Amino acid sequence: MSKWRVLFKKEWLELSRSYKLIWLPLVFILLGAMQPVTTYFLPEILANAGNLPEGAVIEIPTPHAEEVLAQTLQQFGTLGLLIITLSFMGTLSGERMSGTASMILVKPVSYLSFVSAKWAAMLTLAMLAFMAGYGAACYYTAALFQAMNWQLVVHSFLLFALWLVFVGTLTIWFSSMLRSAAAAAFSALAAAAVLVLIASMLPEFLAWNPGKLSQLALSQLTGHSSAETWPTVGMTALLTMGLVVCAAWILRRSPSSENV
């Protein structure tokens, strides 16, 4: 366990030196605050656009707080996922290309400890960033609109956080197989898009599909719980752990890019 802590601290130090500890939370805070603020001032923005006929009156019904948060989660489901995959894409492929993985794994360090320490450090940062971004969204939504049901907000946060964890783990898994970090990011985004598409078009197919997590998070905000929530959560957690173990096994077979 002490070796794992050393590896985790090493990864955290690298995140600090690459300034990811700063810019990733800031980007998520910007995404979270932008949606409620933009929605609140949308009538004024349209009125001052300058291309409306004279005397035009813009009447936009004030949305509910839950609707604003749902729109924010949709932002996190697109731009947020892109940022997460871009941050995770070189987690293992970069180490293999530079030869760092081979040098570290020559020492008495298990492959699973090496991969899981990277996974834990990256996901800790991702969860802190998402928490900050979602917290900013909740703050501005409560200040500009109306009070929310905080229990539903927490439930939606946990479900969507699990979806981000799964996609981040998927990126690390692809990073263990592919030389190119960009290819790992593209593959993870494509796989996530396919899962969400299947969940939308074929809801009865693969009831445990992790792609349903984003929909379940949105449903929580409206108070509509689903019987599929716990099976989806359980299967996503198992698949996440399986991807981490599989990434360690792939790295064991080819710790260097020369072996790919």
| Closest C-alpha among 259, 257, 252, 256 to residue 111 | 252
Task: Give residue-wise pLDDT tens across range 110-142.
Answer: 888 888 988 999 999 999 999 999 999 999 999
Expressed in percent and rounded to 5, the helix, strand and coil fractions of the chain are: 80, 0, 20
Domain that holds residue 254: 2-259
What is the number of structural domains in the chain? 1
Measured CA distances, 127 to 61, 86, 100, 162, 259 (Å):
33, 15, 26, 9, 33
Give SS3 for 255: coil
* Spatial distance between the Cα atoms of 25 and 185, rounded to a whole number of angstroms: 20
Q: How far apart are CA 73 and CA 51, in angstroms?
A: 31
Least confident residue range of 37-41, 53-57, 206-210, 256-260: 256-260
- Which pLDDT belongs to residue 98? 59
Q: What are phi and psi of 244, to 5 degrees?
A: -65, -45
**pTM (two decimals):** 0.88
Taking the C-alpha atoms of residue 223 and residue 204, their distance in angstroms, rounded to an integer, is: 21
